[in-house]
Structure 1
Amino acid sequence: MSASTPGRGEGAPLVFITGASSGIGQALALRYAQAGWRLALVARRGALMRTWAMAQGWPASQWAVYEADVRHEAEIAAAAQACLTAQGLPEVVVANAGISVGVDLGLAEDLAVLRDLLDTNVIGLAATFQPFIEGMRARRRGTLVGMASVASVRGLPGHAGYCAAKGAVVQLCETLRGELRPFGVCVVTLAPGYIDTPLTRENDYPMPFLMPPAAFADRAFHAISAGARWRVIPWQMGVVATILRWLPRSWFDVLVGAQRHRKKRRRDPT
C-alpha cells in the first residue's frame, strides 16, 4: 500500500471510495469533488489514479490516493489507517470495488473464480467497512455504502458467482444497518442496473436502460445524502427488479431458460 498524503483540509467532509480508478468509482469521485467534499481514493492502480486526480486540477488539500487491492485485507486495512492518519475519519465510506465474471460450476477451475468473486465483492466490502465502524459508532455519525447490483435479486444462468456475491452484499448491508442504526450510523445499499463502464462494455447481450456513469453518480450522491436504505438506479431497473423478485419460480425459469448465456472473460478489480 502506498499513498499520496496532502494535508487534512479541515472543514470539508471526507468520502472514502474504493475502486476509484474507473467506472462508477471514478464518477462518484467527480461528483463528490463537485460538491466540495474531500476525497480518499483507493485503487490497485495507484499511479494511474494519482495521474488522473492531478489532471482534475483539484487543490492538494482536497484529495489523497491510497494504493490497495481489496482482496488483501492487510492492504485495505493499511489504506484505511493511512486515511485516518492523514485525512481523518470519513463521513461516507463507499465500498465500490468489485469484479464481474461468468462462472461455470461444472468446471473445477471455476471454483477458484467463484472464490475470487466472493473475496473481492463480499470480503473486500467487509474489510473496507471494518476499520471505520468503531470510529463512526463512537462519533454517532457516518454512512457506509455497499455497492450491490440488480443481479442480487435472482440467480441468473452463467452468473452464479456474481449473483451470489451481490446477494451477500445486500444481506451483509441489511444486517449492518440494523446493528449500527442505534448509533446514528447509516448503511446504504445501492443496486446499479446497467451502467456504461469498462465492466459492462464486454457484455454481449442487450442492456436495457443503460446509464452514463455521471448520471448514476448524481443519483447515487443524492440517495446517499438522503440515507436511503436501498436504491436501484436507474429507477426503471427498480421496476424490473421488483417484477423479477416476485415472479413465480416456474415463470422465472421459463424466462431465463429462453436466454443465451456465455461465460464472460475475467475482469480484475479496479
Structure 2
Amino acid sequence: MTDQSFAHKSAEPSVFALQAKNLSKFYDDGNTRIDVLREVSLDIRRGELVAVIGASGSGKSTLLHALGLLDLPTSGTVCVAGQPSEGLSESARSRLRNRELGFVYQFHHLLPEFTALDNVAMPLIVRRDSRGDSRAAAAKFLDLVGLSARTTHYPGQLSGGERQRVALARALVTQPACVLADEPTGNLDRHTAHQMFKLLKQVNEESRTAFLIVTHDPELAALADRRLFMDAGRLVHAP
C-alpha cells in the first residue's frame, strides 16, 4: 500500500490494475452517521494477488463494491487500469467495469437456462461481440479452469465447485485487469474450497490477471502476495 498520487503514476498506468485514493463512504439518516470506509488507499499491480481480511462489518464488501465501480464512494477516487473513474457517466462506468473488471461471488449467480459455455460467453455477448467469437473465448477459459468436458451442461447439472469454476471463467473471459472476488469459497465444503484455492492461484500465475479477494479464510489469504486487514473501515495493516 502506498500514498503516491495517481498523477505521479500516470507515466506507467499499465503497471497498476486497480488503485484507490482516500476512499470514504458514510451513511447518514439525519440522526446518526455511520462511516463504513475511512480514507482507504491502495494500489494493486497487474498480476498481483491481494487478500483483504477482516471481521464482519469491517467494510470489506463496501470496499469491493466501490473498487468494482458498483457503488459510488462518498469521497475519493478509483482508477481502473490507469483510467480514473471520477466524473464518468454511469454508462461509461459500466463500459469500464465490463472491459477491465471481473467478479466472483460467494454464490455463483449463473443463469440456469444457459449452458456453462453460454454463461461464460455472456459478458462478451452483452458488449456485442459476435456469438461465435464469444463462445470460442468462453471455451478457452472453461478449459483453463478444467471444465472443457462440461461446456454443454447446465448449472443444475454441475457440482458446487464446478459452478464456481464456471463463475471464475466468466470473470476471466473479458481478460480484465483485475478480478474482484467476494468470499469465493464461502459456499463450498472444505475439500472443494481447497481445490478452488489452488485454482485461483494457478489462474493468477498463468493469466497474470490481478485478483483482489475478500475472505474470512486464512488458508486462502495465505496464498496471496499481500494481505490487507480491515478494521472499522480502515486498512490497518499491509505486511
Please give the TM-score of this superposition, normalised by the length of structure 2.
0.31
Whose helix proportion is higher, 1 or 2? 1
Point out the structure with the larger strand share: 2
Q: TM-score, normalization: structure 1?
A: 0.28
